[in-house]
Structure 1
Amino acid sequence: MLSEGIYLSKVDPESGLEVASFHELTDNNWDFVLSSALKEHKCQNLNATVTLGSHLYQSYHIDKPAVPKEEWPVALPFLLKDLITERVNEIVTDGVELADSNKIQAYVVIKRFVEQLKQVLDHRSVKLLNITPEDEVWAHARSDVPAFMLLHRSQNSDFKIGAFVNQSSVFQRTVRGVESPITGEFASSLQIDALALELQRSMDYLSAQLKQVQINKLFICCDDENTEELREALQERLNVMVEPLLLSDVTQKSGEVLVYEAYQLGLKGVNLYPEHLKPKKDRFNLDIVAASWAAIFLIMMVIYSVYIPN
């Protein structure tokens, strides 16, 4: 679920992940668009995992909580209360440990959004299993590389810079003032210079912060750009190896890449739909309910016979 629209894909038991369909968002009508997409693709009686675009959540680096990890979703809102404007009971949180650090990456989403998302899915008899921030999905996109930076951009959004170490997100930044496209017929050396400068600043910051880690590879995955042209332009300006994120020559949108990587990731890692928000299982089956009503009826009959004389 990105700023420009919703990418929806079903998993066939035999053939696996189907090609993602795109459903554009024109206004703040994501719930209507999602409901229509589920209906169009006959999504019913299924399980769902949802990946959120970065515009739908916030992320923070904080000290690792001194509680078991399974308690983080309950504890983190109180640890983050001084960093956010929402009340503790208005947010949903989860986090992931950062490698070689006593810090964690904490993610925050508005609780009302999660409830609304679940309501839309419930209406189509779709069970929500997992909500994952896109940064955590990107972190697993190149598991063959222990540390890398990623320049990515989806349609109708800004360029974003991320850094990932051991499949954990350690840095995210949105680039302001560089308007896409900057390649092809709209090629602009000034815009590319500005983008390269922002990338270099991010690299300098990471070098100072991550003294035990060397990041010497930059991947790119930018919609509406000529990937090879952008790669060459950045390679001329930076001292790291610049490569396309995708190993294949097939052109894919960022949303399509996220769909595939989220499918590969499965239910591992951060989940912004924690157990305490999920419906509690009904412990009463029909037999127990019937027996309970029989007992109540029997008690009522006894009371009636005691207080109503013949």
Structure 2
Amino acid sequence: MGNVLSRKLAFWKKPTESINIGIYIDSTHVWCFTKHGVELDAPQRFTRDEGGLSIFKTISETYPQARLHIILGQGCYQLLQVDKPQIDEAELKQALIWSIKDLVSTPVTQLHLDYFSYSIANNNKLNVVVSEKAMLQQMVSAACEQDLTITGISIEEIVLSNTQGEAEQARLMLCHQEGADLLLVVIKDGELCLQRRIRGFHALNAMSKDDLSYGAADTLSLEIQRSMDFYESQSRQAPINKIQLVLGERGDDLKPLLAQNLQQPIESLNIENYSLWLAELALEEFSQTEDTEKVNL
């Protein structure tokens, strides 16, 4: 791997010719998104079985020899930040194994890792993605058995960079999936510049307007402001231009409360199903990768 990964992590890549499908996988479900021309196919959600991922058999029956671009979600990986070892690039992956061994509960021999850095960062840090090697192997084997091709495997934080924004303007996105910590990312000109998880809001969807008004919104405003200050001081970039909320119904409730505390424009995105949206972004990521590869030829 190179030290800059703006779009995807190369856990697996093997191009071929057939229909493209974006897939989002979390600890319990698999979400699929595809389209033929300009007409979108009906979205599909499948319960994830243990290890075997029989979902691939169902996909192959409908879309033989399909190409899959997969996004891993909560419960499928860990994202850690470590100091970058001062060694040659060719030896970096091996050195990172020792950097993370005390930060994970699973033996490092059972893990697969990849890494990326922020292109505008002025620090000496690397973001290391770790996932269970057996899970990835089972996934690839299950797809191959059904004559499907996995073109790439990436993660939730990175695929959010496929969302549209004003060119060269930094924006902060705050995303929530039921049962998970809030995800905060900063994106500038199509690249991930900062990411962090905000704890204490995993049950955000169950909070009432009163819960949000009496302290929760103020606490969240403080966390957002800290992240913006950190981004501006570390990257020495212009201030964030916009805040986007992907929080379901809570987004509309939080928007006026956050606006009272923060100076940036705030918008609540109307995303009905966050998991399906990530599958759609996975398909968009594949399209962008394919276009890039054609240009490089």
TM-score w.r.t. the length of structure 2 is: 0.72
Question: Could you report, residue by residue, the CA deviation over 1:230-259 in whole angstroms, capped at 9, with x for unpaired residues?
Answer: 32333234333211246xxxx531122212
CA drift of 1:72 comes to 5.2
AA aligned to 2:110 is E
Gaps in structure 1 of 5+ consecutive residues: 270-310
Query: Secondary structure of the residue that 1:55 maps to in structure 2?
Result: coil
Structure 1 vs Structure 2: percent identity of aligned residues? Answer: 16
Indicate how the Cα distance of structure 1 residues 124 and 194 shifts in structure 2: closer, same or farther if over 3 A, else same.
same
Partner of 1:228: 252
TM-score w.r.t. the length of structure 1 is: 0.69
Inter-partner Cα distance in structure 2 for 1:48 and 1:138: 18
Counterparts in 2 of 1:13-92, with a 5 A limit? 14-15=37-38, 18-24=41-47, 29=50, 31-32=52-53, 34-35=55-56, 37-38=58-59, 42-65=62-85, 66-68=87-89, 73=93, 75-92=95-112
1:157 to 161, 179, 202: 179
Counterparts in 2 of 1:1-310, with a 5 A limit? 1-3=25-27, 5-12=29-36, 14-15=37-38, 18-24=41-47, 29=50, 31-32=52-53, 34-35=55-56, 37-38=58-59, 42-65=62-85, 66-68=87-89, 73=93, 75-98=95-118, 99-101=120-122, 102-144=124-166, 146-154=169-177, 156-166=178-188, 167-177=191-201, 179-181=203-205, 187-192=208-213, 193-208=215-230, 210-211=232-233, 212-213=236-237, 214-223=239-248, 225=249, 227-245=251-269, 251-266=271-286
Inter-partner Cα distance in structure 2 for 1:89 and 1:106: 15
Is the CA contact (8 Å cut-off) linking 1:64 and 1:103 kept in structure 2?
Answer: yes
Aligned length: 255
Query: 4+ residue stretches of structure 1 with deviation over 6 A?
Result: none
Indicate how the Cα distance of structure 1 residues 159 and 122 shifts in structure 2: closer, same or farther if over 3 A, else same.
same
Indicate how the Cα distance of structure 1 residues 10 and 161 shifts in structure 2: closer, same or farther if over 3 A, else same.
closer
Query: Secondary structure of the residue that 1:54 maps to in structure 2?
Result: coil
Gaps in structure 2 of 5+ consecutive residues: 1-24, 290-297
What RMSD over aligned residues (CA atoms) do the two structures have, in Å?
A: 3.1
- Greater C-alpha Rg: 1
Query: Secondary structure of the residue that 2:204 maps to in structure 1?
Result: coil
